[in-house]
A = this chain, B = another copy of it.
Amino acid sequence: MSEWVPQSVSEQARKFLAMPPVRQNMPALDDTPGWERMVEQTDQLLLQRFLGVELPVESEETEIDGVHTYVLRTQGLPDDAPVYLSLHGGALILGGGEVCRLMGSITAMTSAMITWAVDYRMPPRHPFPAALDDCVTAYRALLKERDPRDIVVGGGSAGGNLAAALLLRAKEEGLPMPSALVLITPEVDLTESGDSFHTNRDFDNIAASLMEVNQLYANGHDLAHPHLSPLFGDLAGFPPTFLQTGTRDLFLSNTVRMHRRLRAAGIQAELHVFEAMPHGGFGGATPEDLELHAELRRFLDAHRRPAADPGAAS
């Protein structure tokens, strides 16, 4: 791992880049209790990271056609406000429960939309396609409550995988597209074929190869299937898409390849790449992270239909 830190980012970002890399040994594929211990311990670490930053977000826990979901909103939002369907990150194995709620609260703050944070089922007990099925169930339920023009689907990392795969499933099942898609350093290629899995291996101090988890998730299914690696799907008809990554991101190639495939399919898609940023940002409160939030908010506002004219055709 390279210890070199550039001067071209904020002081807070430089401190983040100087942190020793996060690297984790994975259990054997069939060691279910081992995976459960790893998930519990890692989620506890994530919660500690979130401690003390409870956000001013109203939180409601609910079951949506059997799928555990948090409905989150900042104060003052009307009941019929547009909805952000938020699919949490965590390598398709982490980030459930309370972590899901807290990550969803950040999305609720950033988007200023009612946020449905889907606490989808995950391995080791619930491998593919359980998580994706849950996302489709939540999206179907949301379409009964909102015009698709008042829905955004988004996620970071593993959540970006599910967000893009959800839209592929929605197309196949004849469901309408949402108004916009948000892919934050998305894990859209579980085969890890992109160049940055090699070139950024020694520069991303957060992410490392997740191939063992990917295999646990796939449970014998082909990793290259578009429902597992939506990068390889037919992206025609996708809505306007916001994509973000960093030059040190292990998923840099995932993100820029997805951008190019969307563009090749004729989709309006905008790419934002942050200097020296590893997977998932600089820790949440740096000038760079805040700049990303502002850029995303601008995108969401630009793709929201005017509240004063809810019946207008888009």
A binding-site residues for B, Cβ under 8 Å: 2, 4, 6-9, 193-196, 198-200, 203, 247-248, 252-253, 256-257, 259-260, 263-264, 270-276, 291, 295
Contact = CB atoms under 8 A, between A and B. Distances in A.
A88 to B, nearest CB: 26
A211 to B, nearest CB: 16
Q: How many copies altogether?
A: 2
A16 to B, nearest CB: 13
A9 B252 CA distance: 14
A251 to B, nearest CB: 11
Given A248-B199, A295-B263, A8 B273 contact: no
B291 A275 contact: no
B275 A256 contact: yes
A264 B275 CA distance: 14
Nearest to A199: B203
Given A199-B200, A247-B195, A247-B196, A264 B252 contact: no
Contacts of A274: 256, 260
A247 B8 contact: no
A273 to B, nearest CB: 4
A73 to B, nearest CB: 28
Contacts of A259: 272-273
* A contact patch SS: mixed
A275 B259 CA distance: 10
Given A8-B193, A195-B248, A199-B247, 6 more contacts: A8-B253, A195-B247, A247-B252, A256-B273, A263-B272, A271-B273
A253 B295 CA distance: 19
A8 B195 contact: yes
Contacts of A247: 195-196, 199, 252-253, 256
B194 A8 contact: yes
Nearest to A255: B273
The 5 closest A-B CB pairs, nearest first, are A195-B276, A6-B195, A256-B273, A271-B271, A8-B193
A142 to B, nearest CB: 30
B275 A272 contact: no
A253 B252 CA distance: 13
A257 to B, nearest CB: 5
Nearest to A196: B247
B257 A8 contact: yes
Contacts of A275: 194-195, 253, 256-257, 260
Contact of A276 (B7, B8, B253, B264): B253
A174 to B, nearest CB: 31
Given A260-B274, A274-B260, A295-B263, A193 B253 contact: no
Nearest to A256: B273
The interface centre, meaning the residue of A195, A196, A263, A272 with most chain B CB atoms within 10 A of its CB, is: A195
